[in-house]
Amino acid sequence: MISKFLSGDGPRSRILAGMLAAIFVALALAPFLFPGTRPLDVAARICVFVLLVASYDLLLGYTGIVSFAHTMFFGIGGYGVAIALSKLDVGWSAIALGAAAAVAVSLVLSFLIGLFSLRVKAIFFAMITLAVASFFAILASQLSDITGGEDGITFKVPELLRSRNAAYYMVFGMALALFLALLRAVNSPFGRVLLAIRENDFRAEALGYRTVIYRTLANCLAAVVATLAGALYALWLRYTGPNTTLDFGIMIDILLMVVIGGMGTMYGAVIGATIFVIAQNYLQDAMKAFSEAMKGVPLLPDLFHPDRWLLWLGVLFVLSVYYFPHGIVGQLRARSKR
Amino acid sequence: MTPAVVPRTDWIPPALLLAIALGGLALIGNPSTWVTLSVAGLAMGLLIFIMSSGLTLVFGLMDVMNFAHGLFIAVGAYVAASVMKFLSASVDSESFLVNLGALAPAMLAAAAVAGLLGLFFERVIIRPVYGQHLKQILITTGGMIVAEQLIHVLWGPDLLPLPRPATLRGSFLIGDMAIEKFRLVAVVLGLAIFAAMLLLLNRTKIGLLIRAGVENKEMVEAMGYRVRRLFVAVFVAGSALAGLGGALWGMYQESVTVAIGANMMVLIFIVIIIGGLGSVGGCFVGALLVGLVANYVGYLSPKIALGSNILLMVIVLLWRPQGLYPMNKQ
């Protein structure tokens, strides 16, 4: 039964299964287990980022292409909902319209970028997406009549979502459903072709699969899921702005999460996003304590300054790419195989 | 295999550059404004060229794309800011020679530190991931994250002022044309570096080997030359140039933040894509195109200005999908 939900692609490691189950239970019961605004906010962030990172894993881990434009699609979703809710009557139809429009924009954009640049090398695609994403971020901050510029848009949500618990369960439910859908996609024949392309695109092409089409499809699918994740995040925050969606820092966060969690595993997204968001919110407190304890020692207090937490995650990231290319999930699976 | 014909110089891209300059004159109308904008565009373009030439050569030689190239730019700018602060008495002096006594050490220090960092970076970060594009992108991006944070640790998170030397502040007035002195210096310096690079690449044995290595690495190795060493040298030189360019760019903006590297990276990628990955000549023309178009469009319609680079890239790629000067690789 559970195996069917997971598309037959189970955790394949006892420890991993335990971790996933613990995360699932903690997130499912978050409003009751961890009362308070901040813990619930952390839980919602984890849900959204699990989804966002999983969709990125479809690109990076399963198809083997690096995109720097994932936050752009995340932002399109957020702005779609925000613009619809601030310009139209507040209601579910506005949300649906905004999300649908955002998905349509993302589809067209990802299709164009894909056709335009996926024919050639992975490096070319990475460079093009970086340029397009930075252009989009500038555009969003310049068109202040529509997007609210640097301030972003604060908007009202329908009656039902004003209850924090109801809003949380909407985020949780949607994230769970879409995550399972992604898991289904990577375990379908389509997902197998993507893996084949990642391993050897020349051979996949020789077997009769048009690699450009499959890569573009994967790019579009990832973009659509990222857009929906952006819409969910906007509805949770009741705000959309450049700093919560389009910032290049978020792109870096996504990369860190997917690599540390484990590329090409989907579950890596769950582990990576959970660890990262918790570290983002609570590691800084620990570092602050350590930094103050180290006062007087040269350089150390600066290295452990609470704002330098990204330094340590960056080091972890580099080490992961060298030594654990499949991240935490890959390590756990390799261990249970032995 | 590519046929063994002597390639003739393709004059269409430089002609395009001229056409854009003349078109700019026609649209702007006022010649003195046009001169001011053109000098600004050329200065910006040449600075971008200094920063990006190493990256494109490294890619051509070894198929390595360093996403952390912006790091060298940032480090160069920070080192220059520190040196200038240390020598602030000479920076504020009214004599050009005394100014030079601060400017030259700042430039040299920026280039030297960036070059050394490049050597370290090549050894530690890039060497283990040759031939693996995906890992290269990830590793160099990771290196960039760590390095940016280390810059924060060493220099602090705040904006650092990077003053221009006193005699290079303000502008020359020729008739009613205003030309910023510093931009003129940037143009002269940029052209000098470009000329030196052309001499090195076209008139020396090392240059010959580099060009041959870009065209066909295996063949050069079969002849008994170590392309690897050549590559390390090019990587270090490219990093040093990026550091020098970063120092100049910081002075151009008169301040340094850690974002300087990442911001320039986007422009640099656009330039080397426009030029054709691996082509130094293409990189030069592409950088000038980007500089000129950015300044003209910025004057004519500031709203579109930010998108002009992307638009330029798309148009060039629709015309020549491999960039202005495609490199023939087998």
Q: Which pLDDT belongs to residue B276? A: 87
Picking from B133, B145, B307, the nearest residue to A252 by CB comes out as: B145
Q: How confident is the model at residue A257 (pLDDT cuts 50, 70, 90)?
A: very high
Contact call for B141 and A116, based on CB within 8 A: no
Give the minimum alpha-carbon distance from A300 to chain B in angstroms, rounded to a whole number: 10
Sequence-ordered alpha helix ranges (H) in B29-132 = 31-62, 69-86, 88-91, 96-121
Residue located via tokens 């056409």: B19
pTM for this entry: 0.88
Specify the higher pLDDT residue, B47 or B166: B47
- For B7, residues 6+ apart whose C-beta sits below 8 A from its C-beta are none
Test the A interface: residue of B135, B136, B137 with most A CBs within 10 Å: B137
User: CA-nearest residue of chain B to A303?
Assistant: B153
Residue A200: CB atoms within 10 Å: 11
- Residue range A201-206: average pLDDT? 90
**Cα distance between residue B102 and residue A182, in whole Å:** 59
pLDDT greater than 80 at residue A193: yes
Give the minimum alpha-carbon distance from B241 to chain A in angstroms, rounded to a whole number: 21
Picking from B134, B269, B306, the nearest residue to A122 by CB comes out as: B134
- Complex prediction ipTM: 0.84
Specify the higher pLDDT residue, B59 or A23: A23
Average pLDDT over chain B, rounded to an integer: 86
Picking from B125, B138, B317, the nearest residue to A259 by CB comes out as: B138
A64 contacts in chain B (CB < 8 Å):
134
A302 contacts in chain B (CB < 8 Å):
153
User: Which residues of B lie inside 8 Å of A (Cβ-Cβ)?
Assistant: 59, 65, 67, 125, 128-129, 133-139, 141-143, 145-146, 149-150, 152-153, 157, 262, 265-266, 269-270, 273, 277, 303, 306-307, 309-310, 313, 317
Contact call for B145 and A314, based on CB within 8 A: yes
In a domain, B3, yes or no: no
Beta bridge pairs of residue A175: none
For B52, the domain range is 29-319
Q: Which pLDDT belongs to residue B2? A: 47
Q: How many domains does chain A have?
A: 1
Contact call for A248 and B270, based on CB within 8 A: no
A311 contacts in chain B (CB < 8 Å):
145-146, 149-150, 153
Q: How confident is the model at residue B7 (pLDDT cuts 50, 70, 90)?
A: low
- Residue range A308-317: average pLDDT? 85
CA angle, residues B214, B215, B221, in degrees to nearest 5: 75
Q: Which pLDDT belongs to residue B247? A: 92
Question: For B104-144, how does the pLDDT look when each residue is reduced to its tens digit (9 = 90+)?
Answer: 899 999 999 999 999 999 988 888 888 788 888 889 999 99
In a domain, B133, yes or no: yes
Q: Residue A293's domain is classified under what CATH number?
A: 1.10.3470
In a domain, B1, yes or no: no
pLDDT greater than 60 at residue B330: no
Q: Which pLDDT belongs to residue B328? A: 60
Q: How far is CA B233 from CA A196, B116, B128, B237, in A?
A: 38, 11, 18, 6
DSSP assignment string, A254-320: HHHHHHHH-TTSSHHHHHHHHHHHHIIIIIHHHHHHHHHHTTTSSSHHHHT-GGGHHHHHHHHHHHH
The answer to whether the CB of A74 falls within 8 A of the CB of A56 is: no
Q: Residue B196's domain is classified under what CATH number?
A: 1.10.3470
Question: For A278-305, how does the pLDDT look when each residue is reduced to its tens digit (9 = 90+)?
Answer: 888 888 778 778 877 777 777 777 777 7
Q: How many domains does chain B have?
A: 1
In a domain, B197, yes or no: yes
Question: For B224-248, how does the pLDDT look when each residue is reduced to its tens digit (9 = 90+)?
Answer: 988 888 889 999 999 999 999 999 9
- Residue range A214-242: average pLDDT? 94
In a domain, B10, yes or no: no
For A330, the domain range is 2-337
